[in-house]
Chain A
Amino acid sequence: MISDLFSVTVLVGILASGIRLATPYLYAAIGETFAQRSGVLNLGVEGQMLLGAFAAFYVALTTGNLGLAVLVAMLVGAIMGLAMAFVTVNLHAQQGISGIGFYLFGLGMSDLLFQKMLGTVETVRGFPRIHIPVLSDIPGLGQIFFSQNLMVYAAYLLVPIAWFVLNKTTLGLKIRSVGENPEAADSLGVSVAGVRYFTIVLGGTLSGVAGASLSIALLNVFQQNMTSGLGFIAVALVYFGGWRPWGVLGGALLFSMVNSLQLWIQVLGIPIPSDIAVMMPYVLTILVLVASVSRVRGPSALTKPFERED
């Protein structure tokens, strides 16, 4: 019943899982923020996440070592990022379409590996919840904020770090200048190609982690196409967040709360057809893009390959 939604237990449940579900969005969208600030639209996020999710799941299942699992997912994401960087930076490929190519590759490849190496859906022991002493005992708030797992905390920690790197360091200045005016950056001796390689590989690495957070920290399973558009939503979140880490955090929370609400609606048996509820995040993405596009201007050189003139 609709009134069930407003009981304290359910509200706490919705908020707690909302905080949890923001995790993959945060990793992927923060990585994408770096890439886009340097002028590269990485649409391969979804594929990188799927491969990262599989790699992490497989390592966790066979070795039980969760740290190693995350590392391997990062490595897989970084390799995908490296390929993406070569194609976009050196070969000046059209970024939207080549990103779809990387998506299809990741989709097919993770499916292939899943069938070759696992065959059936299994579960794995993922990252355990960490109950922060004292704080986690606060009624309500404790469950929402202080009883999550390590990967959730790390995702939120990433936001201020990303903000600091982008706005307060020389590296951040280089990234922003390459995204705004690559010719000027180049004439000042900044390696446009080097910076873009760095941000694309960083984006790939974080997408790998985002995938890992799904398969070994939130859901603890791997299935074909388990991301179902999450990576693409993460790309949209960067637009929504105005290319700023704190804006991305706001967007990620908005989406994860809607997602969590959608899941609870199904759990409580509220008579909204589940297929209609599932649409909500995607419809919201479009609405949010309409609302945000006129508000903020993106990096000037976004999707434009840089050609140096001698």
Chain B
Amino acid sequence: MTETTTPQTGPQAGSFRIKLEPRLQEPPRWYPVAVSLGAIFIALILGGIVIAFAGGDPFLSYAHIARASFGNLGVISDTLVKATPILMTALACSIAFRMKLWNIGAEGQFIMGAFGASAVVLAPLLSAETPAWIFIPVMMVAGMLAGALWGFIPGYLKAKFNVNEIISTLMLNYISISWMNFWIFGVWSEGGFQMSPRFPRTAWLPRLLDYAETFPILRGLTTHAGLLIGIAAAFVLWLLIYRSRWGYEIRLIGDNPSAARYAGIDISRNTILVMMVSGALAGLGGMSEITGVVHRLQTSPVAAGYGFTGIIVAWLAKLHPGVIVVVSVLFGALILAGREIQPSGVPKMIQGIILVCLIASDFLLRYRIRIIRAGSEE
């Protein structure tokens, strides 16, 4: 068996030494969950220290997050609204990460999805009198196409020229923001304001409050049909990855690219396809946000960092679509509460710490730590 020693602890650290051994068999099912929860716990402690250091009260901040996101039916609904875009960007990241394609561009693909869906209303491709049952599906397709195009570019560059997809997708994020600004500050601007005109009601996704006449309890609840679209997308993605031949190919390429190549799987083609599917999922998220919440094209609510949160959620859920649904709700809560926490940098900062801790904790899944007392050496 090969044994690995961390160079830092060295062979002699006091009277015992720490040995790291690669895990040879799969750990029990509860183990990854426990490690992830531990990592989040440590991240929250670190975040709390930083908040305290910056002059805030970490307990108040965290209690506030809990109360402001799950305190009553209204805020639970708001949490779900925030969870919806995260759910879709996380699904987008998960399929790319599954193939070890580091798509950091869900943010830009999300923005392009919002742009594509808006173009249907604003170009206009369909007149404002179009009934909803035509409007919504056309906008969905337009959003997914725009997102897929934004995924195709880095996928193609990776497959043909071996361009690092992390950097190309990051650059495309910035390009997409400028692209959106170009349209809403100029052509589609409403009276010189930095936003497009409001969409017609037929281009809105149905919300719970639309049914308040029949069910008074739904009054004021803004959860929209995008959540259902997201959950359906998660189910389809699960089928695709775990129950289809193509999903098997993707997983094989991710786990063992040389074996995949021997098996005759076309890696270039799959790189492009997976990036397109990933982009389409993020684009669907942009469409759902624009038709379910914002109802117009506007920079700040769309380019709000959902693509980056999606990376964290996908990683935390170990890329499993079902787990992603649950974890997105938790991060929806963090972001919702974050809007009210002053100063406003806290949620991003905590997300950063959580991501670093999670990635670092993967270490515990791959190695087991053995403490060996000096003298008991073989």
Contacts and interface: CB of A to CB of B under 8 A. Distances in A.
Interface string A85-120: 001011111101110111111111111111110000
A3 interface: no
B157 A286 contact: yes
A185 B188 CA distance: 59
Contacts of A135: none
A109 B352 CA distance: 9
B362 A94 contact: yes
B161 A290 contact: yes
Interface string B89-107: 0000000000000101000
B343 A112 contact: yes
Contacts of A103: 352
B185 A275 contact: yes
B6 interface: yes
A4 interface: no
A290 B157 contact: yes
Interface stretch (A17-25, A162-170, A227-235): A227-235
Contacts of A275: 178-179, 181-182, 185-186
Contacts of B3: 309-310
Contact of A115 (B179, B308, B343): B343
A108 B178 contact: no
Nearest to B356: A101
Contact of A97 (B6, B173, B185, B359): B359
Nearest to A235: B167
A192 B7 CA distance: 8
A278 interface: yes
B313 interface: no
A90 B8 contact: yes
Given A282-B174, A310-B4, 8 more contacts: A90-B6, A93-B363, A102-B356, A105-B349, A111-B343, A285-B167, A289-B164, A293-B162
Interface of B: 2-8, 50, 54-56, 102, 104, 153, 157, 161-164, 166-168, 170-175, 178-179, 181-182, 185-186, 308, 311-312, 315, 342-356, 359-360, 362-363, 366
Q: List 6 A-B pairs, minimum CB-CB distance, nearest first.
A: A108-B348, A105-B352, A108-B349, A111-B345, A112-B345, A104-B352
Interface of A: 43, 47, 83, 87, 89-94, 96-98, 100-116, 191-194, 224, 228-229, 232-233, 235-236, 239, 273, 275-276, 278-279, 282-283, 285-286, 289-290, 293-294, 307-310
